Amino acid sequence: MKIRNADFYKSVSALDQLPDEPFAEIVFVGRSNVGKSTLLNSLTGRKGLAKTSATPGKTQLINYFTVNGDCFFVDLPGYGYARVGKGQKRFWGKLLGDYIASGERIRLVVLLVDSRHPDMESDREMMDFLAYHGRPYGIVLTKCDKLKQKDRVKAARALESCARKTEFIVNYSALSGRGREELLEKLDGYLDAAAGRIGETQQDK
């Protein structure tokens, strides 16, 4: 897909605040500090779109971005950050879990995994959770500029063995732009014109 424009739409803190627009959603999820905000900025070509910070664990909201005026990129709260409360830590927060379990417009979940740590327990749990709810997901290995080529291959292999249900694995670097075109091309397949909008009937209910 080609991104012509991307804008912040709204932040929600409860499921009853989800937008009414019948747009297809591509959802981005991952551990805190994995590079999610940076990837959203890099992917959309809008530097300040999603706020980036070196302090993990800040976002506890679902952030909606309109892309090309007819679909949403959805930025979910990061999980796995040690300093959030116990109850929240266990299952990535209720908001996150409930949204993934119930979201009717989710076309694809993009799971971001730090290429230097491809074997985190919390990422495995997320893959199991996504598979359990029948959500198609693809994996992006972030910050791959920090690895040598042979370690990038190793990281991808390590993931392949446990992420059997994944639709794809893309090596990504927001620093160099590596993987950007490849990921955009993958996303296209989940947002084709005919499938771009959810039927009116659902909206009319």
Site residues, Mg ion (CB under 5 A)? 36-37
Instruction: Tell me if 147 contacts ligand GDP by CB under 6 A.
Output: no
Could you give the dihedral angle defined by the CA atoms of residues 73, 79, 83 and 85, in that order, rounded to the nearest 10 degrees? Answer: 100
Q: Which is nearer to ligand GDP, 141 or 191 (CB)?
A: 141
Does position 52 interact with ligand GDP (CB under 6 A)? The reply is yes
Do the strands 62-67 and 169-171 form a parallel or antiparallel pair, or are they unpaired? unpaired
Q: Which is nearer to ligand GDP, 49 or 187 (CB)?
A: 49
Residue 32 sits in the site that holds ligand GDP (CB under 6 A): yes
Amino acid making up residue 193: A
Binding positions for ligand GDP, 97-126, rule CB under 6 A: none
d(CA 37, CA 53): 8
Nearer Cβ to ligand GDP (23/172): 172
Could you say whether residue 171 binds ligand GDP (CB under 6 A)? Answer: no
Q: Which two tokens stand for residue 195?
A: 């499938």
Site pattern 56..95 for ligand GDP (x: CB under 6 A): x---------------------x-----------------
Q: Which stretch binds ligand GDP (CB under 6 A): 12-20, 123-131, 133-141, 143-151?
A: 143-151
Contact flag: residue 143 with ligand GDP (CB under 6 A): yes
For ligand GDP, which residue of 33, 44, 63, 171 counts as binding (CB under 6 A)? Answer: 33
Q: SS3 sequence, 146-188?
A: HCCHHHHHHHHHHHHHHCCCCCCEEECCCCCCCCHHHHHHHHH
Binding site for ligand GDP (CB under 6 A): 30, 32-38, 52-54, 56, 78, 142-143, 145-146, 173-175
